[in-house]
Structure 1
Amino acid sequence: MSQDAVGGFAARGASAGKKPNFFMRIVIFFRQVISELRKVVTPTRKELLTFTGVVLGFVIVMMALILGLDTVFSWVVNVVFGVPS
């Protein structure tokens, strides 16, 4: 059998509809995982710090937005329903 471009096995002759057995599919899966892991590029220290800063900045902005909305909604609920004396 010959391997095709997408990592599967190309059909040859009479075995056109036959797929590899269970264990062969596991081996193919792990080969594909290793192949994909080789494509991973580790970010540089500068990129890592930049990405971390962007994520932390976004989280802080979202926290402030939710705090603001919560405060406004609490104020509206108190105005509409009043606080029992």
Structure 2
Amino acid sequence: MANPAHDTEGVARSQPGSGLPPRPANFVEQVLAELRKVVQPTRQELITYTVVVFVFVCAIMGFIFGLDQIFKWLMGLVFGN
């Protein structure tokens, strides 16, 4: 059987097959350990990521709009105006 998994802070997870539910304290310790790993983006990274997301969303909106116009035109041909 494999060893129990540990996060980077060494907090043991609940033992499989122990029959006991995981302790809430273990969960909180694991969440805090993960939050310590979070790296805040710099201002330039944040601006870059925001622009990239905005451009991508606009491109997808344009694509969906184009498909909608094509389907509208096709439905006009099939069913008439």
TM over 0.5: yes
Q: Tell me the amino acid that sits aligned with residue 40 of structure 1.
A: V
Which protein, 1 or 2, shows the higher relative CO under an 8 Å CA cutoff with sep ≥ 6? 2
Does residue 47 of structure 2 align to residue 43 of structure 1?
no
- Computing the radius of gyration from Cα coordinates, the structure with the larger value is 1
Q: Give the one of 56, 66, 71 matched to 2:54.
A: 56
CA RMSD of aligned residues (A): 2.3
Partner Cα distance (1:56, 1:75) in 2: 29
Contact 2:5/2:12, CA 8 A, preserved across alignment: yes
* Number of corresponding residues: 73
Q: Any stretches of 5+ residues in structure 2 without a counterpart?
A: none
Deviation (angstroms), 1:5 = 5.8
Q: Cα deviation per residue 1:25-81 (whole Å; 9 max; x = unaligned)?
A: 110110110010000000000000000001000000000000000001000100111
Q: Provide closer, same or farther for how the CA distance between residues 37 and 5 of structure 1 changes in structure 2, counting only shifts above 3 A.
A: same
TM-score (norm. length: structure 1): 0.74
Q: Provide closer, same or farther for how the CA distance between residues 39 and 9 of structure 1 changes in structure 2, counting only shifts above 3 A.
A: closer
